[in-house]
A and B are shown apart, each in its own frame.
Chain A
């Protein structure tokens, strides 16, 4: 491939958004699968979840993938910004005096950038509260001498506003994915009249499972562990 590979034109840039987006989608499946352990009975969940977290943070392969993940989030957001600014220029300075274009498409399809920006804000909060604490701070240890991430999570989810924040963030994620999943396939050109119905439904199914799966965790923990802390 000649010329500047990553900036050649909007199709290339859009491909990179689709690839990074789909990589994030894949990550979410694994992230959810791991976190479903939080739904186990409290004592078992604590041991198992802390063990799992320690395993992840010492695995070389996981480390490599997580760097790819951080890079993907940044690249995805950066390309979103570049493309959106260019689109604004393409629209031109003079808007329509009377604009009903929104009648033909759903709102979330037209607001992927806003949804994405909210997601980025959520990702930062989320990483600060769990990832940063786990990696860079002294943490209480559990009975087996492992960093007690489980309790940090459980305590966080005893605050109603924090649970609400997570549920709202998952709704934002849901709407971003509702369009993003099949949009990515269309962007990559992996789209065919015979299969596009399947891709759409796969996207809806994926979106539902991911959104509901992540949202259930804080709600469940709020209701089952809402007792005075030791």
Chain B
């Protein structure tokens, strides 16, 4: 299939970027989106041009590195899909495809499509852990946790930190990412005791990184490749309010 691409090129964090046109006359519809970009990069390298930088690692939908804004949607037109799991068969022959980095002031562009998502790391460092040493993982059935609770906590724990929630949010809010971690740990006996304090610290860091507020539009849960529900944002708010009310 024949594809026309419009891709964001930006020399470095300080440079002004712009959309640049590329043509790929012979794309295999079975390629993933990233493989298509690989083909384009090989072409660029052969002709002595600078290849397009983009983040990627596992290419199997689990690492969360490959966030790209494709045709106006985070991770492209499919919901619940990472960019590496998006395939060219979802596009039509002759399509023009826009490829941009995930945008937010807390996610500065490093080069081309590559962004700095370390703000997420700092939010986790602010409290997304259990602070006591618990030794090796205990025998799974030794800690009684109800089936539904285990399922819900696991759903929240599935966040891969891709940043699609921020990229798509009209307020560039990191509430889904932060809420998922707060909620995951709040539901389990190991994480529960520190939960209100954790919510406070992580919210404070989210604020310091310059993310916006949550207006519950629900756009994030549609674009989230792990289909994490905005219910976890409500649980974060609940834990946060609990901390504010109980604080001495």
Contacts and interface: CB of A to CB of B under 8 A. Distances in A.
Interface string B4-17: 00101000000001
A109 B213 contact: no
B238 interface: yes
Chain B interface secondary structure, helix, strand, loop or mixed?
mixed
B150 interface: no
B71 A100 contact: yes
A189 B172 contact: no
B43 to A, nearest CB: 22
Interface string B189-218: 000000000000001101100111111111
B66 interface: no
Interface in A107-139: 109-110, 112
A87 B237 contact: no
Q: Interface size for chain A: under 10, 10 to 19, 20 to 34, or 35 or more residues? A: 35 or more
Contacts of B203: 9, 11
Given A100-B72, A104-B222, A186-B237, A87 B172 contact: yes
A153 B124 CA distance: 58
A90 interface: yes
B82 interface: no
Given A13-B213, A15-B241, A104-B223, A97 B8 contact: yes
A1 B170 CA distance: 30
B19 A12 contact: no
Given A11-B203, A189-B234, A189-B241, A86 B71 contact: no
29 contacts: A1-B244, A11-B213, A14-B214, A87-B172, A91-B171, A92-B104, A92-B172, A94-B17, A96-B69, A97-B6, A97-B100, A98-B98, A98-B100, A99-B72, A100-B71, A100-B73, A104-B222, A105-B219, A105-B222, A109-B218, A110-B217, A186-B233, A186-B234, A187-B234, A187-B237, A189-B234, A189-B238, A189-B240, A191-B234
Interface in B142-183: 168, 170-173
Contacts of A183: 215-216
B170 A110 contact: yes
A2 B200 CA distance: 12
A188 interface: yes
B85 interface: no
A187 B216 contact: yes
The 10 closest A-B pairs by CB, nearest first: A189-B238, A100-B72, A10-B213, A90-B212, A191-B234, A87-B171, A87-B212, A189-B237, A98-B98, A92-B105
